[in-house]
Structure 1
Amino acid sequence: MHIPFTPNHIQLISACYPPSAALLTSGPEYAPNSQELSRLTYYAANRPEKINKLGTELEKRVKTDTKKAAAGNTRARAALLITLAIFKALATECRRDMSLLSPSLLSSINITLSSLSADLELAARAATVFTTWTTYTDGLIIGVDLKVTDDYMSCLRHFARLGHLEHDDHETRNRTRLIGLAALASAVNSEALYKPSAQFQPQVSIIMRALLIPLLQVDVSVLNHELAEIKEQPNSPILDEFRSRPTLERRAASIHAHIDGDQGPTSGDVANTALRATSSLLGHTRGLQASLVLQAALDTLDERDGWALTEHCRWLAEKAAEWTQYQYRYGIPTRLVECLAEIQDAPEPTQRHATLTAMITAVFTSPTPLVNLSTSDIIASLISITLRRITVSPEDSLLPALVECISSLGTHVYYADQIQDLAEDLIRRLVIVEASGIPGAGKDNRQKARTQAVRCLLAGLLGLIHAADMHDAGKDADENGDTKTVGTSPTLPPPIIERTSHDGLQGQGHMRPSRRTKVAPEIWQDTLSLLCDAEYAVRADYAMALVAYVENEIPKFADKVDPDGVRRPRPLAEGPSQRTNTVNAMLYGDSTTRFLNALHACAYTLSTSPRLGLRNSPPPSPERTSPANGDDSSARAGDATGDSVTTERRSMNHSSRTRRMSLVLRMLQDAPERLSSSAHVAAELSDFGNVLAILQAVHEQLPVRSLLTGIPMLVALSKATRAEEAYDSSTAAAVRTIKELVAKTWLVVAKVWECPAVGELAEKSLSALPGASPLPNLPDWQFGSLQPPQHPTPLPSDLPLTEPLPDIDTDAILEALSSAPNVQEATGLGQQDLLRRLGAEWSPDKAYKESIETKSRLDSLSGDGLSPLIKVAPALMHADNISMQSLARSGRGVGVTDLREALEGRSSMSNPNLAGRVPSISTLDHTSSVFPGEFAKLTPQRSRPQRVKPRPGEVREVLNKLGIGKQLGNGNVKSSFPAMQKTQPRNPPTFTPPYTT
């Protein structure tokens, strides 16, 4: 009935409702009168100033009908459904002015859900209105209008509660969840989530709770099945046409309650909706937003105790990285590592620790590329977490998983030197732990923590390298020609190096040579002292790591053997020039040769030394340790045996590398030149087996270099076991084992170089030794995992000897080896030169010094190792010395053009080489940075400029630089380095320079 003086907008709204008596019969659609609704929407669309009044009136009706419907009034419930339908129509037609309708619309939805959320039909109608609003809103009102923001956040909470509602009836539960998830999916695709940046995190925290719980309640196989369907049908029936068009052209989805009698939705349908919303959410996030989404998911796992579902968490972490935009994926693993670091101090590892570690490994081992990932920061964090867990407990159960994390980082290689850089980070920390232990470890667990830390870092280092090779091999085509894109499996590749004897190798650790940069010997060389560590578990693990490095990683260049283990000449690849370059590199020392020198020095020390491990120097004098000017900084380094810790003031004059070298040299000097009859050897029987495996790998993989660096060590080891009288029973077993080690190494050399005479002499020596148990083989090694600590096999204590052990005929072996044609052809040396080289005097400290010294100064001055730019002309040198600082910044030399410009009087500014010479510090005036105390220190001097110096750009200057002008001396060619002839030190040293010997 028409009431006089009723406002027009109220009349238009009232006309949309059926008569009161017909409200109950208007179902099941409960739709407003279509003709009157058209008049209402036309009125609102053409008079935007009336939208606020229309919304306020509808909100009043919602409040009234909600109270009545909650009390059981069915007519009020029907009217409420019609009111919500009117709201949807107005939102659709007034999309241009959505901000005017938003306050009353969101308030009405909030009021409805607060009182009648259990009514699925009302919840579905409210979700439809909410979806319409999220479709057309620009989101700018959120965060600005506090009332609207509160209503919006309250609506999200209501729908989130529906999205993970628990109910005894599975059909009712799935229907309710679909309604809530559909509404949240519309919010995920709305600008209301992304435009107000300050409100993003609160919204995501609410949304992820609802999206994640349904995913955790189904099996991973169901998730994979639904994900495959999503890929086949990317358009959702709920989100169809959603966000794919401009705002004014979009079509809002309509959400309906399930019809009674139809087959109810399954848990898979619910998971499908949640997966679509989650993937869409991560797909639209940028930068920090991806980390916030992941953090919200982790908070949900905390609230729901979801960490026990390890497989689900791994799957979600992997898919989160896949769904995130390409340039922002790095935020997923970075945030996971940060979360793991936040709980690294827990006294006991929890399920959260284990699951987080598994999630990190899953992300790294997945084929999803992670560009912009800071691998250096990630590995530094993982190393710190590992060491912290070892500090808490050396037997922490989380350590194997952390080792897998570090190893899996090698799956993603984005630049050639990445693995080398990561390996250098690991080795740097490994060296620190070896010398100083772990700060913060308890006194009782100090040595145990140090041992476990070294083993974990070693296992991670090898796993990292192996994972990188598997990743690189996965890029190549398989046998059928299909391209594969793989990282490694989630548990890292299973290939195992299986060793059955010292003569053969079963299994294949790497699929093919990788295209990445190999870890340089200079980097790995710092770890060689671990071969002589005081703990056998460390020595055993390092022996396996060293064999793997020599076999698979160390650069071999042309120094290779055939698959059968024999070194045969390759005429096409190894001409005279190549052989000369190889021999020169080995004689004067390249990185691989220096590495082998240090390796053989450590192998000799392990075989003969009475005590092992790095030992700190005695405490300095009080005046050096007393604080000066309030500076009480000190360095604490643990003794290798774990008995004491010495605190000493770090010297400011020597680098940490120099201090480490001195410790290693001190350890090598304990190795005797000859074992006495009652000498004690600290090595176990297993150590000698490990040394044999190392020497075998070295001679098989680097035959030429090992020949020139390792044979002198074998000769010295043979001399060390020669005695005129019988050894004591405690020493006889060690001496007999050393002789067996030397003989079996000669057998390897004989096989590599096809020298039967050497093999016969070695076999004769072996047969003459008294019987004993054979040398143990290296155990199996699985990359990327922390194996249980190895236990030593002790030397036999009951070896009766009544006479000296027979010695191997070293002179005959050297004679036979030096006369072998393969050896002479490979080295380019004659028999006498080979005899002199192979039989040279050798000691471990001397070999180690050769491994760290650079080439002689004379070789450097002759041009080897210098840039070709320096060899072009003396004109490229600014000052009268050979310092690299004097190299001209311009790569252009002085030529005819410069002479023409000088004759024409042009400025010399065009050629920087014509500028005046700048005095610089000569490098010949300083001591060696490696052995500062070994040579006398020369007084630093500045090179003196010439007394008669023409101005830059003059003709005479150009002629002098071209070598045409007046020359000094007797007319010979002017030296390229006049500073060497002019400058003489005031107090010349009395030593003999190394380049004159």
Structure 2
Amino acid sequence: MHILTPNHVQLISACYPPSSALLTAGPDYSPNSQELSRLTYYAANRPGKISKLGNELERRAKTDSRKAAAGNTRARASLLITLAIFKAIAAECRRDLALLSPSLLSSVNTTLSALPTDLEIAARAATVFTAWTTYTDGLIIGGDQRVTEDYMSCLKHFARLCDVDLTDHETRNRTRLVGLAAFIGTVSSEALYHSQTYFQTQVQILMRAILPLLFQVDVVVLEQQLADIKEQPNSPILDEFRSRPMLERRAASIHVHIDGDQGPTSSDVANTALRATSTLLGHTNGIQASAVVKAALDTLDEKRRWDQVDHCRWLAEKWAEWTQYQYRYGIPTRLVECLAEGQDTPQPSAKHSTLAAMITTVFTSPTPLVNLSTSDIIASLISITLRRITLSPEDALLPALVECISSLGTHVYYADQIQDLAGELISRLVIVEANGLPGAVKANLEQARTQAVRCLLAGLLGLIHAADLHDAGIDPEDEKKAVGTAAALPAVAEPSRTSQEGHIRPSRRTKVTPETWQDTLSLLCDRDYAVRADYAKALVEYVETEIPKLGDKTDSDGVRRPRPVVEGPVRQASTINALLYGDSTTRFLNALHAYVYALATVAKLGLLSSSSSPERTTPAPTADGEEQAMSNGAKRGAPAMDRPSISFPPRSRRTSLVSRLLREAPAKLSVSAHVAAEFSDFGNILAVLTAVHEHLPVRSLLIGVPMLVALERATRVGNEEALDASTAPVLRSIKELVAKTWLVIGRVWSCSAVTGLAEKALSALPSAAPLPSLPDWQFGTLQPPQQPIPFPVDLEIRESLPDIDTDALVSAIAGSDYVQEATGLGLSDLLRRLDSAEWSADGAFRESMETKRRFDSFSGDNLSPLVKVAPTLMHAENLSMQSLARSGRAVGVTDLREALEGRSSMSNPNLVAGRVPSISTLDHTSSVFPEGFGKLTPTRSRPQQRVKPRPGEVKDVLNKLGIGKQNAGKANGGTVLKSSFQAIQKTQSRTNRTPPAFPPYTT
């Protein structure tokens, strides 16, 4: 009985040459072209037959694969033709490719499994696989379990080809290129990106195969191949992928060898691997890019490539560059997360140091990283740093972490970014300074605290410096190379913002405000010298480059000279008021000089004395009652550091501790006084005061001279007693400090009289070694801890030291025309202000904490008059002040109508007499008690009723409108409204002076 052969089988069989001609079909091993056209036409016009065609071809592929693996050459030739037929049908039936996908992927998987070492078979299978990835929509991945398994198995086979290691370099490179060609088709296909469930699995397979190939060549070769890719972005394999609609794409053919071609090199393999990686990251979104980085980091773990730091840094930078603009933030975020995962490792490994280097490289690269949460990044880096210090204060990873924190300043995307990051660092710095580092080993508590403060301080200074380089358009790597030459350049008053093109660029960020930095000033009196030395350098840098300089301008040589009139008298009066009656910089300088005086005179430094210190004494009672709690802890034998008071907020407690430290500063040193400061501390103080007077000359003169006078008077010892051997060098150092500071003041104000008196005072002192200078500093790095320089031991002084004539110095500087014109004060006022006998460190600190009554400028400050009465209404720290400050609405007829109707309390609570608006504590967690303890329960409020007007309310509104009795007598052109602002009163000493031809210097 004759059985008819199905039509689709006949069409497929006709595509093969006769059995006897199979061996001579090479080297192309292609099907009969005419019969193949009939077959593809049949499949395209009858989609229902595609599954049958696929099943028949799959059966032939499996049979031929099994025979070819056994050595049958005819079966091998037939298999090559079958794979070619698969590709032709996939190209013609791209609309219905899902019907052919199960058979196609199964055939490719079977072929690669049976013949893993046959390069020609692998190339033909990769061509079929690439055709499928070109035309598929990816919906079948994850939807059909069998197809998904075959697809994943094919990826693993191609990954094995990429990882092959043969002695024949040409064959090895060709084999790797075949696997990479299939992967290029994968990274450009919807099959990779459609299913989020299988994306991570696919990426892990790809990274394990591609990433090691990039580590087998030098970074220089990678740079050359990347430049070649940029010059020729259209690859013959990639140009038809994803750039066109699916129906218009053309699948690339993958060949093994053409006669006359030279064998591929390792550079060609690296070029293809770079194209695959850049294409992959160029098509991913934020989550997918993070998954790619995670797979790459896992591969580095498996292959143990962390010791190749240069390759890792280069790849990290290129990952961010290749990722789409809006998703680049995922690269450094994932790197920081990976670093945080290993923060508890007892000993840092090559992985940790390399990750930190990769993070720094990404942040310092010119590639923009929009949408990057810098606050979260810096919080994570700070936590990692502190955790490493708790494990070991000498952890080898700390310098790299400091560089990571500093590098964040390279990318500035909004004006207050550096201000916010600096505030985060300073808040952690203040906590560590006062409370130490919880979790550290008890034996290393003090060392851990010191190292934590130094790391945070170095990161803070590096952050600001990196932001300055960013504004100036300077490459951080070039700046590091120029560190040696920069030291030889003359200092200037303020860093210029000159880009590499030579033009001036305005700064795109706000400066770190003195209010934010002021919390760190107590580090100047830290009990550890390494902290004091580091902070002195940081403070000098802040004063020179960061602090606002309202009305304080000097020339490049440090001399303050008059300038032509550029602003009117209104601005001049406003500037004078800010200088005389205080602003944030003035309060900062008050606190600074208080700490300087304390550092030079107190016998014990630090906010809290260490429990192991032999000089520990019972601290003086404090005004807030904290002393009782601390003394009770001391009686029980507990360290003061471990028993902070829980009855007071942290800021109030810290303020109390600072006040106690400053109250211990003596007004006069005795002949046997003990000072905790080292000889090098006085050199650091001189550097700080020099920077202050050079860059803030006006306010430093008004605030700093009284401190210098008090400091010099503290060293005046009578002749009735001989000086102690340990006290004499201290007193001489203080006098040298005061004289050299006066020398700076005379030079800044171009006052020869002051300079002559200061030089005379210096020459009268006994000869000794000069005060040490500040050590060199490299920004963004953690320097070794500085060691203190002791006082010279060869100084033998048994009689009192000559006093400095501060009265003559004050008179000379007060008589300077420059000083009088800049300050707006006359001679008598300047003498009274500069030679104040009431100056004390504790008083100056209170001036820095209390907001003084200030005069308003003529132009107005757009603040409500209620702000002026707020201090009389509230004597305690209360958030209700904010509501008064925000109330800028004027009082009008509507307020009068509401007061008459009794609605004033509802519409404008600021008008109600005797009432102060406050913020409700309902549903707010207490800062003292733990969550859930004593929490208020929300209750439904009662309906508000119309309240009858009270006479006081109506009268108050009438007074605010200026209709009160105070205006009854003003009928002859008098003003209707009484001004609530105080007028600026000139001093009598300036009434007979001619107004200056130029105003004080303003910004």
Q: Which residue of 2 aligns with 1:581?
A: 574
Alpha-carbon contact 1:131-1:187 (below 8 Å) kept: yes
Matched, 1:655 2:652: no
Describe the superposition over 1:435-473 as per-residue Cα deviations: whole angstroms up to 9, x where unpaired: 111111111111111111111111111110010011111
* C-alpha distance in 2 between matches for 1:345 and 1:328: 29
> C-alpha displacement at 1:773, in angstroms?
0.6
Describe the superposition over 1:470-523 as per-residue Cα deviations: whole angstroms up to 9, x where unpaired: 11111xxxxxxxxxxx6633996754697789xx74999765573310000011
The residue identity in structure 2 corresponding to 1:644 is P
Structure 1, unmatched stretches of 5+, are 475-485, 626-633, 925-943, 978-997
Q: Where in structure 2 are the equivalents of 1:133-212 lying within 5 Å?
A: 133-212=132-211
Q: Which residue of 2 aligns with 1:291?
A: 290
The total of aligned residue pairs comes to 917
Relative to 1, partners in 2 of residues 1:323 and 1:522: Cα closer, same or farther, differing over 3 Å? Answer: same
Relative to 1, partners in 2 of residues 1:383 and 1:958: Cα closer, same or farther, differing over 3 Å? Answer: closer
Q: Which residue of 1 aligns with 2:698?
A: 704
Which moved further from structure 2: 255-264 or 105-114? Answer: 255-264
The residue identity in structure 2 corresponding to 1:403 is V
> C-alpha displacement at 1:792, in angstroms?
1.1
The residue identity in structure 1 corresponding to 2:717 is A
> C-alpha displacement at 1:894, in angstroms?
2.9
Higher relative contact order (Cα pairs below 8 Å, separated by 6+ residues): 2
Alpha-carbon contact 1:886-1:920 (below 8 Å) kept: no
Q: Which residue of 1 aligns with 2:357?
A: 358
* C-alpha distance in 2 between matches for 1:511 and 1:959: 54
> C-alpha displacement at 1:820, in angstroms?
1.2
Which moved further from structure 2: 294-303 or 908-917? Answer: 908-917
> C-alpha displacement at 1:7, in angstroms?
1.1
Name the SS for the 1:262 alignment partner: coil
> C-alpha displacement at 1:798, in angstroms?
3.1
Alpha-carbon contact 2:570-2:857 (below 8 Å) kept: no
- Equivalent position to 1:600, from 593, 611, 614: 593
Alpha-carbon contact 1:619-1:646 (below 8 Å) kept: no
* C-alpha distance in 1 between matches for 2:487 and 2:686: 13
> C-alpha displacement at 1:797, in angstroms?
2.5
* C-alpha distance in 2 between matches for 1:584 and 1:759: 29
Name the SS for the 2:476 alignment partner: coil
* C-alpha distance in 1 between matches for 2:631 and 2:161: 59
Describe the superposition over 1:698-734 as per-residue Cα deviations: whole angstroms up to 9, x where unpaired: 0000000000000000000100000003311110011
- Equivalent position to 1:613, from 601, 606, 610: 606
* C-alpha distance in 2 between matches for 1:82 and 1:373: 53
Name the SS for the 2:442 alignment partner: coil
* C-alpha distance in 2 between matches for 1:849 and 1:887: 23
TM score, norm. by length of structure 2: 0.86
> C-alpha displacement at 1:671, in angstroms?
1.4
Alpha-carbon contact 1:495-1:507 (below 8 Å) kept: no
Matched, 1:691 2:689: no
* C-alpha distance in 1 between matches for 2:25 and 2:370: 58
> C-alpha displacement at 1:571, in angstroms?
3.5
Q: Where in structure 2 are the equivalents of 1:74-89 lying within 5 Å?
A: 74-89=73-88
* C-alpha distance in 2 between matches for 1:430 and 1:459: 11
Name the SS for the 2:727 alignment partner: helix
* C-alpha distance in 2 between matches for 1:366 and 1:124: 39
* C-alpha distance in 2 between matches for 1:620 and 1:688: 30
Relative to 1, partners in 2 of residues 1:247 and 1:909: Cα closer, same or farther, differing over 3 Å? Answer: farther
Describe the superposition over 1:152-190 as per-residue Cα deviations: whole angstroms up to 9, x where unpaired: 000001111112222111111110010000001101000
Q: Which residue of 1 aligns with 2:541?
A: 548
> C-alpha displacement at 1:946, in angstroms?
5.7
Relative to 1, partners in 2 of residues 1:649 and 1:744: Cα closer, same or farther, differing over 3 Å? Answer: closer
Matched, 1:558 2:551: yes
Alpha-carbon contact 2:911-2:953 (below 8 Å) kept: no
Alpha-carbon contact 2:418-2:510 (below 8 Å) kept: yes
> C-alpha displacement at 1:644, in angstroms?
3.3
Q: Where in structure 2 are the equivalents of 1:746-895 lying within 5 Å?
A: 746-840=742-836, 841-856=838-853, 859=854, 868-870=862-864, 885=883, 891=889, 894=892
Q: Which residue of 2 aligns with 1:936?
A: none
Describe the superposition over 1:563-605 as per-residue Cα deviations: whole angstroms up to 9, x where unpaired: 1111112231466544433332233211001111111111111
Relative to 1, partners in 2 of residues 1:5 and 1:155: Cα closer, same or farther, differing over 3 Å? Answer: same
Relative to 1, partners in 2 of residues 1:957 and 1:580: Cα closer, same or farther, differing over 3 Å? Answer: closer
Alpha-carbon contact 2:911-2:957 (below 8 Å) kept: no
Alpha-carbon contact 1:603-1:691 (below 8 Å) kept: yes
* C-alpha distance in 1 between matches for 2:867 and 2:597: 47
Describe the superposition over 1:74-126 as per-residue Cα deviations: whole angstroms up to 9, x where unpaired: 10100000000010011011111101000010000000101112111000000
Which moved further from structure 2: 734-743 or 560-569? Answer: 560-569
> C-alpha displacement at 1:240, in angstroms?
2.4
Q: Which residue of 2 aligns with 1:521?
A: 514
* C-alpha distance in 2 between matches for 1:104 and 1:802: 105
Q: Where in structure 2 are the equivalents of 1:290-309 lying within 5 Å?
A: 290-309=289-308
The residue identity in structure 2 corresponding to 1:732 is A
Name the SS for the 1:547 alignment partner: helix
> C-alpha displacement at 1:268, in angstroms?
1.1
* C-alpha distance in 2 between matches for 1:497 and 1:945: 78
* C-alpha distance in 2 between matches for 1:920 and 1:864: 30
* C-alpha distance in 1 between matches for 2:824 and 2:846: 26
- Equivalent position to 2:950, from 940, 947, 950: 947
Alpha-carbon contact 2:902-2:950 (below 8 Å) kept: no
Describe the superposition over 1:891-936 as per-residue Cα deviations: whole angstroms up to 9, x where unpaired: 46536xx79x989xx9999999799955674389xxxxxxxxxxxx
Matched, 1:740 2:728: no
> C-alpha displacement at 1:795, in angstroms?
0.4
Matched, 1:724 2:722: no
> C-alpha displacement at 1:871, in angstroms?
5.0
Q: Which residue of 2 aligns with 1:488?
A: 476
* C-alpha distance in 2 between matches for 1:635 and 1:150: 69
- Give the aligned CA root-mean-square deviation in angstroms: 3.6
Alpha-carbon contact 1:888-1:912 (below 8 Å) kept: no
Relative to 1, partners in 2 of residues 1:687 and 1:510: Cα closer, same or farther, differing over 3 Å? Answer: farther
Q: Which residue of 2 aligns with 1:343?
A: 342
Relative to 1, partners in 2 of residues 1:885 and 1:836: Cα closer, same or farther, differing over 3 Å? Answer: same
Q: Which residue of 2 aligns with 1:536?
A: 529
> C-alpha displacement at 1:754, in angstroms?
1.3
* C-alpha distance in 2 between matches for 1:950 and 1:220: 79
Q: Which residue of 1 aligns with 2:330?
A: 331
Relative to 1, partners in 2 of residues 1:8 and 1:206: Cα closer, same or farther, differing over 3 Å? Answer: same
* C-alpha distance in 2 between matches for 1:53 and 1:453: 72
* C-alpha distance in 2 between matches for 1:407 and 1:453: 15
The residue identity in structure 2 corresponding to 1:947 is R
* C-alpha distance in 2 between matches for 1:842 and 1:888: 35
* C-alpha distance in 1 between matches for 2:260 and 2:542: 68
Alpha-carbon contact 2:864-2:888 (below 8 Å) kept: no
Describe the superposition over 1:931-962 as per-residue Cα deviations: whole angstroms up to 9, x where unpaired: xxxxxxxxxxxxx99624899xxxx9998874
Name the SS for the 1:566 alignment partner: coil
Relative to 1, partners in 2 of residues 1:730 and 1:528: Cα closer, same or farther, differing over 3 Å? Answer: same
Q: Which residue of 1 aligns with 2:996?
A: none
> C-alpha displacement at 1:787, in angstroms?
1.0
* C-alpha distance in 2 between matches for 1:565 and 1:618: 43
* C-alpha distance in 2 between matches for 1:111 and 1:638: 78
Q: Which residue of 2 aligns with 1:929?
A: none
Name the SS for the 1:143 alignment partner: coil
* C-alpha distance in 1 between matches for 2:764 and 2:948: 72
Which moved further from structure 2: 906-915 or 415-424? Answer: 906-915
Name the SS for the 2:24 alignment partner: helix
Name the SS for the 1:307 alignment partner: coil
* C-alpha distance in 1 between matches for 2:791 and 2:823: 38
> C-alpha displacement at 1:263, in angstroms?
0.7
* C-alpha distance in 1 between matches for 2:348 and 2:909: 67
